[in-house]
Amino acid sequence: MNTFSRIIGTGGYLPKNVVTNADLEKTVNTSDQWIRERTGIEQRHVAEDGEHTVDLAENAARLAIEAAGISPQDIDLIIVATTTADQVFPSTACLLQSRLDIHGCPAFDIQAVCTGFVYGLSVADKFIRTGTSKCALVVGAETFSRIIDWTDRNTCVLFGDGAGAVVLKADNTPGILSTHLHADGDFAKLLHVPSGVSTNYPAVQEGRAYVEMAGSEVFKMAVKILGQIVDETLEANGLERQDIDWLVPHQANIRIIVATAKKLRMPMDRVVQTIAKHGNTSAASIPLALDHAVRANDIKAGELLLLEGFGGGFTWGSALIRY
C-alpha cells in the first residue's frame, strides 16, 4: 500500500507587539490610505527586542503538536523554513528541536524566502512517502522586521513577524496530493538582502543587512507566475478550477491575491486572507493563514486546498492538499 502524508495539526503564533499603519505614518512619509489601497495591510506584528525566530517557532510548533494530539517525542523530522535564522549556526530547526526536548531525528532549515514553507512541506512529504519519516514537524518562522530598514517606506510598510506550523503524519490515504517547486536565480536582484556572511559581513554585524525590492517588477512577475502555477497544479492532478475549495495564498499584497483568485475564478470568501492583520510574514505567511482558517472552522476535513507562494530568488511553488 502506498504511503502518503496528511496534515494532522496546525499552529500559529504572532508576537504581541502590533505596529499599525498610523504608527508608521509617524516615522516615514506614508499614509494609512496608501498602505491599505496598495497592499491591503492595516497592521503587522513585530517581535520585541530579545524575542527571536525560535521563540515564535516554538509557540507555533507547540500549538500544532497539541492540535495533532501527539507528543513531541513522536516527531522524527523537523524542518524550519526561515530567512531570519537566529544564528549563523546551528540551524533554527536544531534550536527548536532542543526546546521541544526531541533528540536524534534530522532537523534542518530551508531558505526559499516567502516560498520556504511550501518547499519545507514538499521535502517533508517526500521523506514520508519514501518511508524515511513517519511524523514531521514543518514550521515557517520569521523575524523579518530585523532585515527591514524602518526608514524605507518602499519596504517597511509591507512586512511583519510570526510563525506557523503543521504536523504531517504518514497515512494510507493522500493528504498532500502534489507539490510543485520552482526557482530562477536570474531574478535575484529584484528582491534581495545584498549583504550576507560572506559578502559585506560588517553590514550584518551592524544590523544594516536590509531587504531591497523593485516593487512593481516583483508585483508583475508574482501575478504572472502564480497564475502559471495554478494551471500546473490543476493539470498535474487532472482537476478543474471549480474543484478547489480553498485558496491559501502567500500574503504579500491583496492585489496579487485577488489576481490569483480571479485566475481560479474563485470567490474571495473561499480565499484565506490574513494580510490585513499580519502583513507579509514571508515563510510564516502560508502556515499562519492555514492555521487561521482551520481554527476559524472555515477549512473542514475532506476539503481541497491550494497553497501557493512566491518570493525572493525568485522562488515559487504550490501544494495541493486534501485536508
Residues with a known catalytic role: 114, 250, 280
Cell of 308: 501557493
Distance (Å, rounded) from C-alpha 203 to C-alpha 149? 12
Distance (Å, rounded) from C-alpha 301 to C-alpha 323? 5
Cβ contacts of 26 within 8 Å, gap of 6 or more: none
CA atoms within 13 A on the CB side of 90: 10
Q: How far is the CB of 203 from ligand ACO (least distance, A)?
A: 18
Q: How far is the CB of 62 from ligand ACO (least distance, A)?
A: 26
Q: Which positions touch ligand ACO (CB under 6 A)?
A: 30, 34-35, 38-39, 113-114, 153-154, 157, 191, 215-216, 218-219, 222, 252-253, 256, 280, 282, 310-312
Neighbours of 186 (CB within 10 A): 9
Q: Which is nearer to ligand ACO, 152 or 298 (CB)?
A: 152
Find cell 508608521 and name the residue.
24
Q: How far is the CB of 131 from ligand ACO (least distance, A)?
A: 33
Q: Which is nearer to ligand ACO, 9 or 311 (CB)?
A: 311
Distance (Å, rounded) from C-alpha 43 to C-alpha 46? 10
Q: Which is nearer to ligand ACO, 191 or 247 (CB)?
A: 191
Distance (Å, rounded) from C-alpha 145 to C-alpha 302? 36
Q: How far is the CB of 11 from ligand ACO (least distance, A)?
A: 22
Q: Which is nearer to ligand ACO, 158 or 168 (CB)?
A: 158
Q: How far is the CB of 223 from ligand ACO (least distance, A)?
A: 9
**One-letter amino acid of 206:** E
Cβ contacts of 306 within 8 Å, gap of 6 or more: 230, 233, 244, 246, 247, 248, 264, 318, 319, 320, 321
Q: What angle do CA 233, 238, 242 make, to 5 degrees?
A: 80
Q: Which is nearer to ligand ACO, 108 or 219 (CB)?
A: 219
Q: Which is nearer to ligand ACO, 38 or 295 (CB)?
A: 38
How far are the Cα atoms of 31, 132, 175 from residue 303, in angstroms, in the given order? 39, 27, 10
Cβ contacts of 216 within 8 Å, gap of 6 or more: none
Question: In the chain, which ranges are continuous DSSP H helix?
Answer: 21-25, 32-39, 53-68, 92-99, 116-129, 153-156, 201-205, 215-236, 254-263, 275-278, 285-295
Residue closest to ligand ACO when measured from CB atoms: 311
**One-letter amino acid of 115:** T
